[in-house]
Amino acid sequence: MKSQFRVVIGSDEAGFAYKKVLKADLEADPRVSSVIDVAVGDDADKTAYPSIGVAAAEKVVAGEADRGLLLCGTGLGVAISANKVKGIRAVTAHDAYSVERGVLSNNAQVLCMGQRVIGRELTRKLTDEWLKHEFDPSSASVAKVGAITSYEDTDSCD
């Protein structure tokens, strides 16, 4: 059987409506064992996206979650913020192929999407797609992802 994922989900106010729907989907999904919510409390909560992106990323790095799912207006700000946390690979992806390759090529733990960019049903389909894939630790992508980690540790990709 494939792994079950512990997922941390988060959004700012601009991603809050989709976050609610995607959280419910995750909680009902047998591929997901737990969901941690670090989103704003409601769509009037003005906590800005960097705090949310970093909070979710820190949960992943701390080993409390395997994956992060982040929403903001564009999916860009949460990705930039999450990527500031050492060890995190966050991608913004709005099509199925990019979602798949974010996992298989980049071993990205965090998927980010934008509520002001794509429709709600597409985010649900893409979240389903995301849960189908796991990084292959014997693939040719391992060395390339390793170069990213190497840069974090040594300021060099070598």
Ligand X SMILES: O=C(CO)[C@H](O)COP(=O)(O)O
Q: Rule CB under 6 A: which residues touch ligand X?
A: 12, 14, 49, 72-74, 76-77
* Catalytic residue, candidates 7, 35, 38, 72: 72
Sheet holding 110-114, edge to edge: 32-37, 5-11, 67-72, 110-114, 90-92
Nearest residue to the partner ligand X, using Cβ: 77
Burial degree of 130 (CB within 10 A; 0-12, 13-18, 19+): buried
What is the CA angle 98-67-111, rounded to 5?
Answer: 30
- The distance of closest approach from Cβ of residue 133 to ligand X in the complex, given in angstroms and rounded to an integer, is 25
- The distance of closest approach from Cβ of residue 26 to ligand X in the complex, given in angstroms and rounded to an integer, is 21
157 is catalytic: no
Nearer to ligand X, 14 or 56 (CB): 14
- The distance of closest approach from Cβ of residue 12 to ligand X in the complex, given in angstroms and rounded to an integer, is 5
| Adjacent-strand bridge partners of 110 | 68, 90
Positions marked active-site: 72
